[in-house]
Structure 1
Amino acid sequence: MARVLVVDDEASVRAALKELVQSRGWEPLVARSGAEALELVERADAVVTDFSMPEMDGMDLLRAIHERDEALPVILLTAHGSERLAVRAIRAGAYEYVAKPFDVDEMLLALARALEARELRQRDRQLTAEHAIGRRVVGVSAPMRRLLEATTRVAGKDITVLVRGETGTGKELIGSLLHAQSRRADGPLVRFNCSAIPADLAEAELFGHTRGAFTGAAQARAGFFAEANHGTLVLDEVGELPIAIQAKLLRALQDGEIQPVGSGRVEKVDVRIVACTNRDLAAEAREGRFRQDLYYRLAVVELVVPPLRERREDIPALAHEFALRYAERFDGEGVRLAPALVQRLTAADWPGNVRQLENAVARMVALSGGGEIGPEAFSGSASEPAAPRPGAGPAAAADGQTLREQLDVLERTVIARTMTAVGGNQSEAARRLGISRNTLTERLRRYEIAADFGSGGSR
């Protein structure tokens, strides 16, 4: 539903415009002054504002709005005979002007055109971003449409963004879109996986180090911040950062300064941060596991990526997109998904979200001989666990097995279920199981579990 911000200091005009907006099925946002309007403008798709208002008039409000979002269409209401003011407004960037008292049909037409222009401009930016990142973005469901709209709105604002969502939902894709639609799109896009680097090396990897700064530092190296200078640095799994490193990250965000390990010199950097996490960092901060001041710095804007179970309408399009992608990669001639298979995929549970669906489709395409893939290809795959037989479980498998063998069966089952639940994210699986990452890696190798989770298994 499109949202129209109505701004006027006269209650009767506000009420008339609100009713008019609602009559077309749009959602009205109402403000009595320019100051109130600026508190609501982030949610608006178009603005209708009176020109003559106390404290902040329509022209001042127009400039303030375009400092935040230059693509947001603003329609100015001007007094009858104020054509000179209207011309000034158009030159200043107003989308349209309407004379008061306004004609209902004229106002509705101006609003419809403004909203259409807004939608077309956002779609154009998304298509440009898709071309830049080299992949199509699927989002026909309402939750994804809202997320993509919010991503487009915030992309052009040079602020820190926290992207939160379950494992495998596609947080890294949102990070790429934010960069591709930003003013830094011509600069570097650099990713740092906070969970993949040991704590004692994280500082050197992020901020760089001098030669001889520590054992093994045979030569100086620029860190990820320096590599991302004038671009975007995506911090994947930022909740995994050690507390000590969080303090130095906070300084980099506050002052734009870093200090390489072993150096007494402070370096200036110009980097936009996009932080991704599958954790509730607000709760982590309250419980002392994450710095509260850093959380507030990261979550200037927070975008939440919906899990696949809340956007099932996207599954058919995603499945077809993955089939095309992997058919090209695996030279699968004429590969296509049968309607019955797509129905099964849509109905299935995907605890590992989009990454798990992608791995399942990739596996089916790789194993197919080309042509149509039927629903039988999905049966028994890692993404669709077989239904347990009545009485099945560790006890049912006990006949003829030693205690050690029974315990191995139980351990493998628990680890496999946990890996499925987290979409193959080994750090999260180790945390949930209460074991170290090294112990989990050894168990995955012993029980030959890792292969079930494709390329996403180490993330």
Structure 2
Amino acid sequence: MSKILIIEDEAAIRRVLKRIIADENKTYQVEEAEDGLEGLQLLKDNDYDLILCDIKMPKMDGVEVLEKIKTDKPEIPVIMISGHGDLDTAVQTMRLGAYDYISKPPDLNRLLNTVRNALDQKKLIVENKILKKKVSKKYEMIGESKAISHIKGMIDKVAPTDARVLITGPNGTGKELVAHRLHDLSERSKFPMVEVNCAAIPSELIESELFGHVKGSFTGANKDRAGKFEAANGGTIFLDEIGDMSLSAQAKVLRALQENKISRVGSDKDINVNVRVLAATNKNLRKEIEEGRFREDLYHRLAVIVIQVPSLNDRRDDIPLLITHFANKIAKEQGASPKSFSDEAIALLQSYDWTGNIRELRNVVERLLILGEPVISDNDVTMFASK
């Protein structure tokens, strides 16, 4: 059921609009307000999927009403209703965020098409918000230790900027979580975040993967193909394990960062790209530079901000929270009832040397949920999670 509010001071026009819209789709619930003040009060007390608002009204004109709606509930599309002399103002309302405007007397087909399209847009916005919440939950950073609180504080400061970030730390510490949080809290979050695992792509294919190629540029290139930089245009590219990237690919990445341009393999045509680059590595890039395996100029381009993700051994205070988080999440994924951990079991797990970091802890928690008792004890830990 879609709820639609018509704000119009002329009763005859309100009736016509309501009848046309209600007759079009029986799932539309249409309500009326005779002026802007009444409309805003109804909006305060109700949730609407679409608003049709006249421009010329007593007490408060439609432009003021639109500005108020866009401030309080910006996700609701607003279609403005304009008289013949209001067209310039109608165009102005589009700049203020109106979805569209309809001239009086309304054209039946145009009105219904605009209403349908506006409701479809609202539905997409809601679906995207739900999806984003799910994605954010997937990449949630669990922990309240001093080390993780420091990282969250850095992310909050850096995310709204376009600064490049180099994320370092051992395998399994959650470097990709930092990257996703940086993207999700940035202005680029409405655009894609494209991930590239540089260690998983053969060195002879990494350039094609990043920058694309043209047909015939190498054996197997039977058609033009866009690369990851183009796919991430407007958004973020996350270069994971960048320490494993070949020197030739590093040179091309450096050019992309310097000039905001790339060229596909086999082409000399430049393509402009607007991409924020985040990179991660478990290697000591300073040592890689000394040994000639990593470009120093690229390092300085990437390391505008460096975020060092601590090992799990350096944030043991977070282990109880992580255990609870993984236990609930895994139980939900498997459709099972969650199990609890005794204080002794948690203390024993906190004492372990977690060389595999958070990834290893998750695997151990899953093993204990499968093999342990309903309340997992230190004996269960000793039996099934022995180091």
For the 8 Å contact 2:327–2:338, the answer to whether it is kept is no
Q: Does 1:133 align with 2:136?
A: yes
Taking structure 1 as reference, are residues 225 and 366 closer, same or farther at Cα in structure 2, changes over 3 Å only? Answer: farther
Aligned match of 1:228 = 232
Partner residue of 1:265 out of 246, 252, 269: 269
Percentage of identical aligned residues:
41
Q: Does 1:361 align with 2:365?
A: yes
CA distance in 2, matches of 1:265, 1:337: 60
Aligned match of 1:322 = 326
User: How do 1:12-411 residues align onto structure 2 when only pairs under 5 Å count?
Assistant: 132-135=135-138, 136-368=140-372, 371-381=374-384, 384-385=386-387
For the 8 Å contact 2:256–2:262, the answer to whether it is kept is yes
Which is bigger in relative contact order (C-alpha 8 A, separation at least 6)?
2
Q: Residue 167 of structure 1 aligns to which amino acid in structure 2?
A: N
Output the TM-score relative to the length of structure 2. 0.63
For the 8 Å contact 1:130–1:137, the answer to whether it is kept is no
Taking structure 1 as reference, are residues 193 and 380 closer, same or farther at Cα in structure 2, changes over 3 Å only? Answer: farther
Aligned match of 1:106 = none
CA distance in 2, matches of 1:242, 1:293: 15
For the 8 Å contact 1:129–1:177, the answer to whether it is kept is no
Aligned match of 1:447 = none
In structure 2, runs of 5+ residues without a counterpart are 1-130
Cα deviation 1:438-459 (Å, max 9, x = unaligned): xxxxxxxxxxxxxxxxxxxxxx
Aligned match of 1:23 = none
CA distance in 1, matches of 2:159, 2:148: 16
1:264 offset after TM fit, Å?
A: 2.5
For the 8 Å contact 1:169–1:353, the answer to whether it is kept is yes
What SS does the corresponding residue of 1:233 show, helix, strand or coil? strand
CA distance in 1, matches of 2:350, 2:386: 12
CA distance in 2, matches of 1:321, 1:199: 38
Q: Residue 286 of structure 1 aligns to which amino acid in structure 2?
A: E
In structure 1, runs of 5+ residues without a counterpart are 1-127, 386-459
Cα deviation 1:276-309 (Å, max 9, x = unaligned): 0111212322332210000000000101011111
Cα deviation 1:229-272 (Å, max 9, x = unaligned): 11111111000001111101100111111111122311111110
CA distance in 2, matches of 1:239, 1:358: 26
CA distance in 2, matches of 1:280, 1:183: 31
Paired residues, number: 256
What SS does the corresponding residue of 1:365 show, helix, strand or coil? helix
Taking structure 1 as reference, are residues 215 and 376 closer, same or farther at Cα in structure 2, changes over 3 Å only? Answer: farther
Output the TM-score relative to the length of structure 1. 0.53
Q: Residue 386 of structure 2 aligns to which amino acid in structure 1?
A: E
Taking structure 1 as reference, are residues 291 and 326 closer, same or farther at Cα in structure 2, changes over 3 Å only? Answer: same
CA distance in 2, matches of 1:182, 1:284: 31
Cα deviation 1:22-42 (Å, max 9, x = unaligned): xxxxxxxxxxxxxxxxxxxxx
For the 8 Å contact 1:130–1:177, the answer to whether it is kept is no
For the 8 Å contact 1:187–1:231, the answer to whether it is kept is yes
CA distance in 2, matches of 1:352, 1:319: 15
Taking structure 1 as reference, are residues 268 and 152 closer, same or farther at Cα in structure 2, changes over 3 Å only? Answer: same
1:320 offset after TM fit, Å?
A: 0.7
Q: Residue 372 of structure 1 aligns to which amino acid in structure 2?
A: V
Q: RMSD value over aligned CA atoms?
A: 1.9
In our comparison, the structure showing a higher alpha carbon Rg is 2
1:138 offset after TM fit, Å?
A: 1.4
CA distance in 2, matches of 1:246, 1:177: 25
For the 8 Å contact 1:338–1:375, the answer to whether it is kept is yes
Cα deviation 1:306-365 (Å, max 9, x = unaligned): 111111100100111011110011122132222222111111110111111111112222
What SS does the corresponding residue of 1:145 show, helix, strand or coil? helix
Taking structure 1 as reference, are residues 211 and 368 closer, same or farther at Cα in structure 2, changes over 3 Å only? Answer: farther
